[in-house]
Structure formats: C-alpha cells, structure tokens
Amino acid sequence: MPVIECDVDAAREKLVEAGVEVSAGNSDHEEWRADYGDANAVAYDDKVVIQGANPQDIETLLREEGGHAYLYFDGASRGNPGPASVGWVIVTSDGIAAEGGETIGRATNNQAEYEALIRVLRAARDYGFDSVEVKGDSELIVKQVTGAWNTNDPELRERRVTVRELLADFDDWELSHVPREINERADKLANEALDDA
C-alpha cells in the first residue's frame, strides 16, 4: 500500500488535471478521496494513501517521473505445462514501490517467466522510471533476451520481441541472472498466487 508524503492540495490538482474524479473525504480526518482504474486514494493532512488491485494507476500520476528502479521477476508452473503464475517486484531506494502476483492460466515455466518479465517491465514503464536493473533467476530468459542464446520456440520468440520492445522504453537498462535466494520475494508472490488459486 503506497503512501506518498506530499502537499495534498497539489496532489488533488494533479489528479483532477489527469481526469480523475475526486470527492470529499468520508471523515473529519480525510481531506479527499479519489478512484481511478483499479486504485483508490485517500488524502490525509500531509500524505496520500493508495490502495486497490493496481495502486500504480494513481501512484504514477502523483509521483515525480524518472529515477532508477530494480525489477525482480519470477514465473511458476505446476505441471510444465500446467497452472501457472507470475510474481514481480519493483524496488527503489525508498523500498518496495510496487509488487504483484497472479495466476495466468495454463503455461510452461518458461512462458510464465517471460510473462512475469513483461508484467514488471510494463509496471515500471507505467511508473515512469528512466532506468532499470532487471533481475531474474531464469538463466534461459536472461540469455535469450540479451541475445546470448537463440530463441527457437515461436511462442517464446514472440514474448522475447515484446520484452525487447518494452526495454527500449527505458533510457538505460540492464538484465542479469541472479540466484533464487536474491529473487525470493518475486518467487514467493508467484507461488502464493498458485497456492491461492
């Protein structure tokens, strides 16, 4: 649940300019409320608290654009192919900026890994980050995206193209393979999504 410390009047103005409907607060402590996409925000004296399925829908409108982020991704499949899910985390110098985990239907593990990478890149793009360091525990995905290995599977090749297009949206990017222990949070989110399905 993102919390943005800010001038709440200026934040309200930003949201209104972006076409977001802002209403009065529900209590004496609330300055105002806003709903946009799959997110809602409540303003208090000097902060805005954002909740909902996709808090980035509002957070991207309020945060200053730019900056650097570390992205972590992981995909999971039980059966390979079988029920599959993704997990991803965006981390900045302030801590976790956003994270997500959800099922994606039936897929192979490699398809799920690519889907997780696509989701975290889209989220980072939507947040407006200029540069990203992307980390995942799938050596195959990292090597295919960076061009070290060929992508023979047509479905994976299509996803590789999508990833390369998304990476082109950033001024600077780096993609590296990390041990599973470094990618623990994204792995946990992917597995929790499958457990909860």
- Reported as a single tens digit per residue, the pLDDT across 118-163 is 999 999 998 889 999 999 999 999 999 999 999 999 999 999 999 9
Q: What's the predicted TM-score (pTM) here?
A: 0.76
Peptide bond just before 83 cis, omega within 30 deg: no
Judge contact between 160 and 145, C-beta under 8 A: yes
Two tokens at 90? Answer: 């965006």
How do residues 87-128 score in pLDDT, each as one tens digit?
999 998 878 888 899 999 999 999 999 999 999 999 999 888
Strand partners, 42: 33, 49
Task: Determine the residue type at 172.
Answer: D
Looking at this protein, which amino acid is placed at residue 114?
Y
15-19, 80-84, 95-99 — most confident range: 80-84
Tokens 């409108």 sit at which residue? 61
98 compared with 73, residue with greater pLDDT: 73
Q: Which of 101, 122, 66 is nearest to 186 (CA)?
A: 101
Neighbour count for residue 1 (Cβ, 10 Å) = 7
Backbone angles phi, psi at 20, to 5 degrees: -85, 135
Q: Which residues of 52-72 are buried (b: 16+ CB within 10 A; e: fewer)?
A: bebbbbbbbbbbeeebebbbb
